[in-house]
A and B are shown apart, each in its own frame.
Chain A
Amino acid sequence: MSAWVGTVIDAVYVVAVLVFILGLKAMSSPETARRGIVYAGGAMLAAVVAILFSPGISNFALIAVGVIVGGGIGWYWARVVQMTAMPQMVAIFNGMGGGAAAAIAGVVLLSSLTNSADTGLSLAGAVIGSTSIAGSVIAFLKLQGWMRQKPVVLPARQPVNLAVLAFGVGFGVYAAATVQPFYLLPFFVLLLLYGILLTLPIGGADMPVIISLFNALTGIAVALDGFALVNGPLGDAGYAMVIAGVLVGAAGSLLTVLMARAMNRSIGNVIFGAFGAAEETGVEVTGSLKPIDVDDAASMMEYANQVIVAPGYGMAVAQAQQRVKELADVLESKGVPVKFAIHPVAGRMPGHMNVLLAEAGIDYDKLLDRDEANPEFAHTDVVLVIGANDVVNPAARRVGSPLQGMPILDVDQAKNVIVIKRGQGKGFAGIENDLFYKDNCRMLYGDAQQVVGKLVQSLKRAA
């Protein structure tokens, strides 16, 4: 192997890292984001090819099998899945990264277990990677509906979880200190268990926080693996992993903080609080639920100065976004402006509603974030709430409510609120929604897709 090959390989990594950073930077505008990720894809391909030409690599047949099998499954799955299944896709592919990081640490530990700093880094990478894959798989199962989304609360879970983590790490440290690889087995088993136990009590509405958190954790696990590699013969690949991993760790941490802040809760409360498991008791909501029929709702919107739609997870479940787009089109053809008010944690992942509405073809200039939307409600005739509950619940302003202090969409300040809802059930948090009992609020029961479809027909008939 001549020297210039090594130089070319190193140069590939330098360029790849630069393109990754620029790719993330391109995410600051929808105009440039797609180009950025395509370039990053090219850089990734170059980095993978470069490592194959590095000295000391063998087992090419196995590598080819792994890349083709894993790459094929990932590509096929990501292409065929429905857009509404995106949150669980993001969760599972993130988990795979965590699993890969844990397995890399596993190989390093098996081949060179020593009582040293390098081994410590690999152990740390294994701890975080294992937690990330096990937790992401549980998140995937919950989002996919293969497991109930309500928190699963086991007795004495805090001390049990802590003990599982402590014993797991203890086995790893013992394996390294005494150089006995056998103890890596209980190490990995307990850490995977920890990831499962950590995620079980986390309910559906807290998924935006937890998905971002696992994203950050996988990034950190990858960076730790990179640290462990930089002392080896292929150290420059390690530097690339450190930089890419830390970038992702920063992105994921930032999103985690933003999501938790949007619910006015600490990250610790989201992870350990088992929110939504208990129901609020002892609070009487006064007033009554006032149903409205489709035609009345349609004419109310037809004569409104403007309509603001506040979507939530229910819109995603009913796959109503296409109908919502039709509704917006028919209203605008009648001269009624339509906007969309999007709460940061509406849905199951950061930006979930934005993606669904973009899929339906709604121009993103019409999407308002919470701070832009709230001043608008007071002079809006009709707000249409579709499948959102906790994020529009004025109980958040009430002292003592479990939602207390959560910044909400102030839809109750509009002249009229129409709520499309499947039934009379409570929101995810198990809290009565004060909004539904207000004088200016009308309930339109039914499946969101069908109900919005009927609204469109009613409006067209009126024309």
Chain B
Amino acid sequence: MAADLWTALFIAILAAFTGYEVISRVPVLLHTPLMSGSNFIHGIVLVGAIVALGVATTPLEQAVGLAAVIMGAMNVTGGYAVTVRILAMFDRSKRRGGGS
């Protein structure tokens, strides 16, 4: 196992505790946006998909890589748009002007 993997493992452990600490403070009220927001955050998978497609050589690799990029891009944009829409509903300042 290469040194980089060990580094990544250290990072993963720290990220898990950071994630737990940060997220356990989220109120029940915002559980849906928390879920769809974290859904958006794992859209970073698009970056990995671009790497996979970017280094793909055979037609099969390119086809699978393209599928990865399409799905990753859907994840990012859809996750973002859904979260922003949901959070807009919790925005008091906006509602006061707009009625209903």
Contacts and interface: CB of A to CB of B under 8 A. Distances in A.
A66 B90 contact: no
A247 interface: yes
Given A100-B71, A103-B67, A251 B38 contact: yes
Interface residues of B, number: 85
Interface string A16-39: 100011011101111001101110
A108 B73 contact: no
A22 B74 CA distance: 23
A194 interface: no
Contacts of B37: 23-24, 27, 33, 36-37, 40
Contacts of B7: 230, 239
Contacts of B36: 86, 89-90, 93
A345 B29 CA distance: 12
Contacts, number: 380
Interface in B42-88: 42-58, 60-62, 64-88
A79 interface: yes
A238 to B, nearest CB: 7
B21 to A, nearest CB: 9
B64 A103 contact: yes
Given A66-B69, A230-B7, A103 B49 contact: yes
A246 B12 contact: yes
A237 B48 contact: yes
Contact of A211 (B15, B19, B24, B35): B35
A248 B26 contact: no
B6 to A, nearest CB: 10
A310 interface: no
Interface residues of A, number: 116
Interface string A42-56: 001001100110101
A435 interface: no
Nearest to A235: B4
Interface stretch (A286-294, A311-319, A356-364, A411-419): A356-364
Q: Which of A47, A367, A369 has the most CB of B within 10 A?
A: A47
A354 B87 CA distance: 11
Contact of A101 (B45, B81, B92): B45
Contact of B64 (A38, A110, A245, A342): A110
A40 B38 CA distance: 10
Given A37-B87, A100-B68, A215-B39, 17 more contacts: A30-B87, A44-B43, A51-B47, A59-B53, A89-B36, A89-B78, A93-B74, A94-B75, A100-B45, A106-B68, A215-B42, A247-B22, A249-B19, A342-B28, A349-B32, A349-B35, A351-B33
27 contacts: A24-B22, A37-B37, A48-B47, A48-B50, A59-B65, A67-B50, A70-B70, A71-B73, A78-B77, A78-B85, A89-B36, A92-B78, A100-B67, A103-B49, A104-B51, A107-B65, A107-B68, A229-B51, A242-B8, A247-B38, A248-B41, A255-B35, A342-B28, A351-B28, A351-B32, A355-B32, A355-B33
